[in-house]
Chains A and B, each alone.
Chain A
Amino acid sequence: MPTVSVKRELLFQALGRSYTDEEFNDLCFEFGLELDEVTSEKDIISKEKGEEKAKGASETVLYKIDVPANRYDLLCLEGLVRGLQVFKERINLPRYEKIILAQGKGQRLIITEQTVHIRPHAVAAVLRNIKFTKERYDSFIDLQEKLHQNICRKRALVAIGTHDLDTISGPFTFTAKAPSEIKFKPLNQSQEYTASQIMDLYRTDSHLRHYLHLIENKPLYPIIYDSNGVVLSMPPIINGDHTKISVNTRNVFIECTGTDLTKAKIVLDIIVTMFSEYCEKPFSVEAAEVVYPNGKTHIYPELAYRKEKVKPELINKKIGISETPPSLAKLLTRMCLKSHVTGNGNNLEVEIPPTRPDIIHACDIIEDAAIAYGYNNIQMTIPKTYTIANQLPVNKLTELLRLDLAAAGFTEALTFALCSQEDIADKLGMDISATKAVRIANPKTAEFQVARTTLLPGLLKTIAANRKMPLPLKLFEISDIVLKDPNTDVGARNYRHLCAVYYNKTPGFEIIHGLLDRVMQLLEVPPSKENGYSIKATEGSAFFPGRCAEIFAKGQSIGKLGVLHPDVITKFELTMPCSALEMNIEPFV
């Protein structure tokens, strides 16, 4: 969930009234936001770097608000305020207007064919006669960063560039060139660099180095020029210093380039709708023309208003309320979805503004109606569905066995399903390739390299962590192990295993054997070679030679039992003899 940090005073000023923290928390809860933290810059620095460094930092109260991941229009103060004001019916949703200048007068962005392989899409727009203050400027920059982190997927899908239009002149060209042919002064630098030098320059920059890989090894780098060869930006890395905007900038040229056109359009729409509030003609955006390599042109921003028809009964039915169509229309309008009743009063026409790209289905509209109604005002009912319930057979067997194993004096353990490679192979005297283990590609630590193929290491590690407990230690676990299986649709499956260990001054083979007999008795499997269970002496790498047996039941081998080999015991950092039993219980389900 993205977090937006806003100054409390600014927020209340824009909302037109003050709230206590609790009142504001409730408002957020209703709307679907979460007031995560009330803090200040001083507090933040204090927590991260200590009291000393925090001296002199601002004490202005900051609200950290968690915003749903699909609401790009709430990622800045302007959007939050607008959303909340419309929700509280204090303002009407502004109408965003696209101003298309006469032929030849508007800005043009020409895309050349070289961009096709690296960053094919671009959209652009102009914010004319905008008035920035320090707060608005900061908010503008912040919004770009938030969008970059979220919908732009760290600039991989879309990168935003904003420029002072008065320092450049169109038409602008978006092309791609070899790194050695690109030279300009990057933002906040004092000299010109070639593109390759820029890569090196930012390799250690804590912020920008994460984006270098997006274009670094490609033959051509994307670059945007104006008609005089001034560089606007080299997306997605950095803008040019020449065009940087400041608090005094009056006209802003915005370009979004990327690999996903739909997202680029959404990003542009969000930026212009949010900040056109501060233009001389509020909520108006000057359109720009984008020219494609094949000569086709397109006007951006789209600022599309989409109309959808929804039946009021559907909304009522799905939520479980019964509101009249006019009152439903009012609820939706409060959520920035302007609606009115049409037809014979039995249909609703909903207008979806460009700030709500998250509305893609009637169910999204229904959710918004429910939010406006207030989730906690909905009457709670129980579905009349009549079904007969069942426990999954393997789980039922597991539950029954667990009770009886505990009754036999063994304590249940619950261990991790992920472990290190050594745990299931080397420490048990086996080679990893002999196990059919499932391997993890990106473990955070060595403890999560593979999924367990046996419950034994988990139990042995549990004993090692509990050495101070009085002996004997008798543990068991009935849980899943994972093995590769090419016959399944994913390539692996779980098996329900039962494992028990006995740890004491003497190995206690007879105790483990007794437990096996008891389990078989409970499972009603007689001790016979033909149709019951039997054990046969065998060798096992984890077991003491001559003290290991294989368990056969229902015509198949289902596990082993025996005294553990001293090497195994030492590798798990244990010091006493230990006997163990492990078997698959699925054949008995």
Chain B
Amino acid sequence: FTEMPTDRFVESSFWNFDALFQPQQHPARDQHDTFFLQDPAEAPQLPPGYTAKVKKVHTQGGYGSQGYKSQWLLDEAQRNLLRTHTTAASARLLYQLAQQEKFSPVKAFSIDRVFRNESLDATHLAEFHQVEGVVADRGLTLGHLMGTLRQFFTKLGILGGQLRFKPAYNPYTEPSMEVFSYHEGLKKWVEVGNSGVFRP
């Protein structure tokens, strides 16, 4: 797995949300979950051709999807924020990959800081780190995703028998799975990760 560049704490709503099919009215884009920026407040440049495509998929659908059929405002996409997940960097990576003349498979990862506007308590910080991995190739299946995750967690010491997958929902992946592991100390299953197959 090759390391992805994640050198942007400051991201535009476009890369953090819109390019990931997160609707503009989604609660996660609220004031109390995301750090929006006062200065610089707006991203000066967004890729023009791609922005138009993203707008179309949100409002009318496309690529086999019905879309959200609701309003899509450019202003909203231009709002700058502190990234809420490193998937924003993955989105950029996939865009670069799509610009290549010839497709080549990619396995990439990143471990970096993300920011969420939460009150601090025993299990929540405003800034924390995320580990993210992306595999792009032809003919990948949900079984492959589960296999990769199992290997990953095995390396961390969480063995295969203690891993279970649960259906979940992310705006940008379908199918999506939450990964649960059995915690000996707490004697219950706890969520250790989230995953999914990116929507076409």
Contacts and interface: CB of A to CB of B under 8 A. Distances in A.
A19 interface: no
B27 to A, nearest CB: 8
A380 B147 CA distance: 4
Interface residues of B, number: 76
B174 A391 contact: no
Given A260-B70, A361-B174, A491-B10, A383 B137 contact: yes
B143 interface: yes
B70 A263 contact: yes
Interface in B137-181: 137, 139-144, 146-148, 150-151, 164-169, 174-177, 180
Interface centre among B82, B117, B151 (most CB of A within 10 A): B82
A492 B12 CA distance: 10
B71 A260 contact: yes
Contacts of B197: 318, 363
Interface string A37-72: 000000000000000000000000000000011110
Contacts of B174: 361, 363-364, 366-367
Contact of A370 (B117, B144, B150, B175): B175
Contact of A366 (B71, B135, B175): B175
Contacts of B12: 489-490
Contacts of B42: 491
Interface string A359-388: 011111011001100011011111101111
A444 B10 contact: no
Contacts, number: 211
Given A370-B175, A381-B147, A451-B9, A153 B43 contact: no
Given A361-B64, A494-B7, A321 B143 contact: yes
A319 B10 CA distance: 36
Given A32-B166, A391-B3, A360 B151 contact: no
Contacts of A443: 35, 117
A256 interface: no
B56 interface: no
A70 B27 CA distance: 12
17 contacts: A260-B70, A317-B141, A318-B197, A320-B142, A360-B68, A378-B142, A380-B147, A381-B143, A382-B144, A385-B135, A389-B2, A391-B2, A417-B115, A418-B35, A444-B126, A489-B44, A491-B44
Interface of A: 29, 31-32, 34, 68-71, 150, 153, 157, 260, 262-263, 317-321, 360-364, 366-367, 370-371, 375-376, 378-383, 385-392, 394-395, 416-418, 437-444, 448, 451, 480, 482, 484, 486, 489-494, 496
Given A32-B167, A367-B174, A383-B135, 20 more contacts: A32-B168, A68-B168, A150-B27, A153-B27, A262-B69, A320-B144, A362-B64, A363-B197, A364-B174, A376-B165, A381-B141, A383-B144, A385-B140, A387-B1, A392-B5, A418-B127, A439-B37, A440-B37, A444-B117, A444-B118
